[in-house]
């Protein structure tokens, strides 16, 4: 007779629950691979944790958490500069408000669909919980491509988008922010339209301009926060940031601020990229070059390849991602599923020590598994990039109180928040032996608060 230890029996039970649970999730959400991937990533770490906690099973918590509270889905008609009527599809996924008003960005990108927004809203719920602030999870956007559009076209689109969205949001209900394709320009147009329709000046969107209620440090928060988290991981393992060679993908808000903070912390950011290819600077990008890229992307709205025309020590690699460059740390900062299993294996072979996900779900499941199996420190997105929504939460507090904190104060709050998130991951992610499993730690720490609040409310 084989006698199973309690741990093995629990493991077998959790695996059986997980398989059954995922079969249900796949059946209820057909054709939504990104959403299924995000749910699997969380559930595979939560089931072992709740194996001996019946209250979570009895209350069907994981089942309830995988259903958004509601999804709003609408037509966005607008007129282009040539006078043609164009139509896009707008969405708002209000995922979970157990611990506070829905909060999460708006994404304008041609790839936007329900699966991607549900994955982002689901992840956001755990991330927002990790910040320690009273904010729930949501996400939204449209399959609109701001690239190549004039400012007037973007303005007309944003106004039309908010003409429907305004009735679903509010400072105590749902507070959207920016994401891919939604920066200061788009938030300005949307806030202007909200104010005009409702005749109310309230903190209903975050990421606003500093002149009209925006918070200092919000623009920098996600990239800076990611680097604070990476530093915390390295220090926890007995190292530090000084001299670390870092590959970064993307060249948007998150990537450029991650590169800037890496530099300030004594590391060398070696790469940046966009959907066309990546640029490599063997000396590490300096502040002048990073500022140039910010101007290139935010003002001239150009391509990253132009960086190699401007600076003689920068090489451009057309159509490639930066993961083949030999580095100590990698910080994917562009988009979902941008690191696959083979790339991860190559990075491991090249000696990568730590990977910090600054974008949302940039690593495919096979890549996550490859890093964790190889003992590479792996910081998951919901912990690493939580600084952005964290400072957005602080923007909401400042708006409610009609005050504006200074930059040093906010930088200190951000740094402390990232330190607290790191500690929570260590607390829940440390087994008796072995390195910290940050993925497990972040998922459990984010889960507990939301799940306990849901149990308190009864079956709603
Ligand atoms: P931006 O729009 O400012 O920049 C996105 C960058 O990613 C651009 O360089 C873009 O290149 C690149 N990119 C987009 N799609 C692809 C692709 N398929 N392949 C390669 N590169 C691509 O967005 P953010 O910097 O704000 O966001 C980046 C990531 O960080 C996203 O995953 C977002 O959800 C996440 N995030 C952002 C937060 C924030 O505060 N902004 C907060 C938390 C998470 P191109 O110009 O060619 O499209």
Using the mean position of ligand 1's atoms as its centre, give its distance from the Cα of residue 377 in Å.
23
Closest atom of ligand 1 to 183 CA is 3
Does 257 lie in the same domain as 193? no
Catalytic residue among 103, 139, 208, 382: 139
CA distances from 450 to 287, 296, 300, 447 (A): 40, 41, 42, 6
Using the mean position of ligand 1's atoms as its centre, give its distance from the Cα of residue 368 in Å.
20
**Which 3 state secondary structure label does DSSP give 432?**
coil
Given pLDDT bands bounded at 50, 70 and 90, which one contains residue 123? very high
The CATH number that applies at residue 302 is: 3.40.50.720
Residue owning the nearest CA to atom 30 of ligand 1: 359
Does 74 lie in the same domain as 58? no
Closest atom of ligand 1 to 358 CA is 30
Residue owning the nearest CA to atom 19 of ligand 1: 275
pLDDT at 9 over 70: no
Helix (H) or strand (E) holding 224: helix 218-236
Query: What mean pLDDT, rounded, does the chain reach?
Result: 96
The CATH number that applies at residue 174 is: 3.40.50.10860
pLDDT at 244 over 70: yes
The string of pLDDT tens digits covering residues 350-361 is: 999 999 999 999
Quote the number of domains for the chain: 3
Given pLDDT bands bounded at 50, 70 and 90, which one contains residue 7? low
Residue owning the nearest CA to atom 22 of ligand 1: 275
Chain length of the chain: 460
CA gap 162, 165 in Å, rounded: 5
- Told to judge if 297 belongs to the known catalytic residues of this protein, a careful annotator would answer no
pLDDT at 2 over 60: no
Residue 173 in any domain: the answer is yes
CA gap 35, 39 in Å, rounded: 6
Residue owning the nearest CA to atom 10 of ligand 1: 274
What confidence score (pLDDT) does residue 432 get? 72
Does 85 lie in the same domain as 37? no
Choosing from 202, 237, 268, the residue where a domain stops is 202
Both structure tokens of 80 = 């282009």
Closest atom of ligand 1 to 107 CA is 34
What confidence score (pLDDT) does residue 13 get? 78
Does 190 lie in the same domain as 163? yes
Both structure tokens of 414 = 């951000």
Closest atom of ligand 1 to 251 CA is 9
Does 244 lie in the same domain as 312? yes
Does 180 lie in the same domain as 49? no
Residue 438 in any domain: the answer is no
**Domain of 48, in residue numbers:** 6-64
Does 225 lie in the same domain as 359? yes
Choosing from 21, 41, 64, the residue where a domain stops is 64
Given pLDDT bands bounded at 50, 70 and 90, which one contains residue 6? low
Label each residue of 275-304 as H, E or C: CCEEEEECCCCCHHHHHHHHHHHHCCCCCC
Does 360 lie in the same domain as 290? yes
Choosing from 45, 64, 83, the residue where a domain stops is 64
What confidence score (pLDDT) does residue 185 get? 96
Which residues surround ligand 1 with Cβ inside 6 Å? Answer: 178-181, 222, 250-255, 274-276, 333-335, 338, 359-360, 385, 388
Global confidence as pTM? 0.94
CA distances from 141 to 83, 110, 151, 177, 190 (A): 24, 10, 18, 10, 12
């Amino acid at each position: 007779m084989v006698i199973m230890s309690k741990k093995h029996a629990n493991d077998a039970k959790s695996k059986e629950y997980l398989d059954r649970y995922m079969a249900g999730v796949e059946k209820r959400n057909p054709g939504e691979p990104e959403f299924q991937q995000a749910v699997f990533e969380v559930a595979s770490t939560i089931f072992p944790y709740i194996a001996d906690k019946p209250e979570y099973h009895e209350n069907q918590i994981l089942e309830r958490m995988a259903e958004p509270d509601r999804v709003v889905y609408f037509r966005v008609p607008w007129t282009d500069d040539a006078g043609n009527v164009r139509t896009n599809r707008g969405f708002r996924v209000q995922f979970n408000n157990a611990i506070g008003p829905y909060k999460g960005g708006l994404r304008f990108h041609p790839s936007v669909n329900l699966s991607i927004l549900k994955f982002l809203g689901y992840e956001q719920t755990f991330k927002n919980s990790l910040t320690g602030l009273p904010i729930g999870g949501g996400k939204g956007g449209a399959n609109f491509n701001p690239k190549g559009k004039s400012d007037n076209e973007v303005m007309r689109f944003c106004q039309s988008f908010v003409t429907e969205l305004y009735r679903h949001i509010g400072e105590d209900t749902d507070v959207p922010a920016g994401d891919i394709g939604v920066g200061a320009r788009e938030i300005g147009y949307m806030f202007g339209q909200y104010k005009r329709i409702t005749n109310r000046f309230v903190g209903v969107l975050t990421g606003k301009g500093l002149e009209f209620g925006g918070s200092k440090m919000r623009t920098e928060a996600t990239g800076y926060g990611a680097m604070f988290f990476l530093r915390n991981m390295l220090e926890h393992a007995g190292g530090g940031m000084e001299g670390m060679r870092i590959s970064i993908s993307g060249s948007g808000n998150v990537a450029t601020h991650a590169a800037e903070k890496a530099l300030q912390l004594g590391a060398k950011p070696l790469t940046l990229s966009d959907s066309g290819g990546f640029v490599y600077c063997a000396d590490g990008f300096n502040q002048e070059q990073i500022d140039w890229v910010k101007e290139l992307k935010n003002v001239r709205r150009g391509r990253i390849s132009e960086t190699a025309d401007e600076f003689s020590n920068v090489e451009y690699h057309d159509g490639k991602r930066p993961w083949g460059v030999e580095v100590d740390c990698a910080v994917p900062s562009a988009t979902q599923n941008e690191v696959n299993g083979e790339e991860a294996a190559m990075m491991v072979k090249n000696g990568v020590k730590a990977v910090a996900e600054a974008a949302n779900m940039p690593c495919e499941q096979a890549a996550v598994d490859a890093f964790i199996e190889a003992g590479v420190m792996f910081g998951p997105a919901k912990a690493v990039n939580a600084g952005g929504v964290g400072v957005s939460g602080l923007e909401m507090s400042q708006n409610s109180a009609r005050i504006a904190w200074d930059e040093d104060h906010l930088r200190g709050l951000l740094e402390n928040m990232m330190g607290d998130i790191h500690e929570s991951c260590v607390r829940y992610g440390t087994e008796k032996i072995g390195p910290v499993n940050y993925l497990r730690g972040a998922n459990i720490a984010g889960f507990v608060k939301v799940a306990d609040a849901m149990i308190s409310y009864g079956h709603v």
